[in-house]
């Protein structure tokens, strides 16, 4: 999994974990009246809001934790576990555990850090986000995605068309973010739940892939505290043709979070042992 994180960078990680909330509900316009043959973007996102549990319910969510595992051909182990903590307006802490080793990525709303498990006996060291990673994290839409209170967030939503997607008719929305980036969302024309999101990944940099599109597919919705959330999210990268799957096993709504979780990850320090003659040296391991 460390290789996956290094190769795809924060944009893909957040695309798979944090930005998976992209496409959640918006504006308090929801009602039960049938839509016209070609509804407006506002009507579609309003129906989406109602389908996902209601705008009011989402606005009450201040914190959220997702727990589950990741299935990936790039993962070094069969079981790769994750825990994602989120807090409004745009704080995230992602922990990924493989073979008992933990990788941590933290964004406090302004700055971000990453702490990867040490390799070849080396101790992990906290590193700041790259410029690319920081840009993506700062443009994050938080717990409720880009559609809830879109105008307040500076997002412009436009109806782009109607597509056939995996056997479903789906309304295609274009969301222009304040950064100038454009996401595409597909909303099921029958259930009004999100089924796909396309995000552009700027992979520039020494460890990055070329600029490309990552598609997120939302599967198997379940209800947690009255909110509908996909229990599986798949990411497909046009850059290398691979697919990763995130399985969300548990969702906790509005848990108390330790604010220390959103500060720079602490680099483990070597234990000091005292030797004869009052000399000391780092302890092994």
Please return the burial class of 127, using the count of CB atoms within 10 Å of its CB with bins 0-12, 13-18 and 19+. middle
Which of 230, 238, 211, 200 has its CA nearest to residue 51?
230
Contacts (Cβ under 8 Å, ≥6 apart) of 263? 106, 108
Confidence (pLDDT) at 199: 82
Paired tokens of 5: 């994180």
User: What is the rounded average pLDDT of the residues 1-17?
Assistant: 39
Computed over every residue of the chain, the mean pLDDT equals: 78
Question: Which range is least confidently modeled, 12-16, 83-87, 211-215, 260-264?
Answer: 12-16
pLDDT tens per residue across span 160-170: 999 999 899 99
User: What is the rounded average pLDDT of the residues 33-57?
Assistant: 84
89 cis-preceded (ω within 30 degrees of 0): yes
Predicted TM-score (pTM) of the model is 0.74
Burial 62-96 (b: 16+ CB within 10 A, else e): ebbbbebbbbbebbeeeebbbebbbbeebbbbbbb
Confidence (pLDDT) at 28: 28
Place 35 in a pLDDT band, splitting at 50, 70 and 90. low
Q: Rounded to 10 degrees, what is the CA torsion of 135, 141, 146, 149?
A: -130
pLDDT > 90 fraction of the chain, expressed in percent and rounded:
41
State how far the Cα of 236 lies from the Cα of 213, in Å rounded to an integer.
9
35 vs 39, 40, 52, 230, 254, CA distance in Å? 6, 9, 17, 24, 33
Paired tokens of 34: 């049938």
CB atoms within 10 A of CB 255: 11
Q: Which residue has the higher pLDDT, 197 or 25?
A: 197
Residue 274 pLDDT greater than 60, yes or no:
no
Start-to-end Cα distance in the chain = 23
User: What is the rounded average pLDDT of the residues 169-188?
Assistant: 91
Residue 154 pLDDT greater than 80, yes or no:
yes
Q: Say if CB 68 and CB 251 are below 8 A apart.
A: no
Q: Which residue has the higher pLDDT, 182 or 207?
A: 182
Distance of CA 197 to the CA centre of its chain: 12
Q: What is the CATH number of the domain that holds 18?
A: 2.50.20.10
Residue 62 pLDDT greater than 80, yes or no:
yes
Q: How many domains does the chain fold into?
A: 1
User: What is the rounded average pLDDT of the residues 205-209?
Assistant: 46
Q: Which residue has the higher pLDDT, 206 or 223?
A: 223
Q: Domain residues for 199?
A: 2-282
User: What is the rounded average pLDDT of the residues 76-97?
Assistant: 89
Q: Which residue has the higher pLDDT, 274 or 174?
A: 174
pLDDT tens per residue across span 225-269: 999 999 999 987 655 667 889 999 999 999 999 999 999 876 655
Confidence (pLDDT) at 201: 67
HSE of 117, CA atoms in CB hemisphere, 13 A:
16
Place 116 in a pLDDT band, splitting at 50, 70 and 90. confident
Helices (H), the chain: 2-16, 41-51, 55-59, 131-138, 150-153
């Amino acid at each position: 999994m460390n290789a996956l994180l290094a190769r795809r960078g924060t944009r893909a990680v957040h695309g798979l974990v944090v930005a998976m909330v992209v496409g959640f509900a918006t504006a308090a316009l929801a009602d039960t009246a049938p839509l016209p043959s070609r509804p407006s973007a506002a009507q579609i996102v309003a129906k989406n809001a109602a389908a996902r549990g209601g705008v009011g319910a989402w606005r009450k969510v201040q914190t959220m934790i997702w727990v589950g595992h990741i299935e990936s051909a790039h993962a070094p182990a069969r079981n790769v576990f994750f825990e994602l903590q989120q807090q409004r307006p745009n704080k995230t802490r992602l922990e990924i555990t493989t073979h008992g080793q933990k990788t941590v990525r933290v964004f406090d709303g302004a700055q971000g850090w990453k702490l990867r498990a040490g390799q070849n006996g080396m101790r992990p060291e906290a590193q700041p986000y790259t410029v690319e990673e920081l840009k993506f994290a700062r443009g994050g839409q938080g717990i409720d995605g880009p559609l809830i209170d879109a105008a307040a967030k500076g997002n412009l939503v436009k109806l782009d068309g109607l597509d056939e997607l995996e056997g479903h008719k789906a309304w295609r929305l274009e969301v222009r973010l304040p950064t100038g980036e454009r996401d595409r969302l597909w909303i099921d024309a029958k259930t009004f739940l999100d089924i796909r999101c396309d995000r552009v990944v700027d992979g520039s940099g020494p460890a990055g892939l070329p600029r490309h599109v990552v598609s997120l597919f939302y599967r198997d919705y379940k209800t947690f505290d009255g909110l509908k959330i996909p229990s599986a999210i798949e990411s497909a990268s046009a850059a290398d043709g691979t697919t990763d799957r995130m399985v969300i096993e548990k969702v906790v709504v509005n848990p108390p979070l330790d604010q220390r979780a959103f500060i720079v990850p602490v680099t483990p320090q070597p234990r000091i042992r005292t030797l004869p003659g009052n000399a000391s040296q780092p302890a092994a391991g």
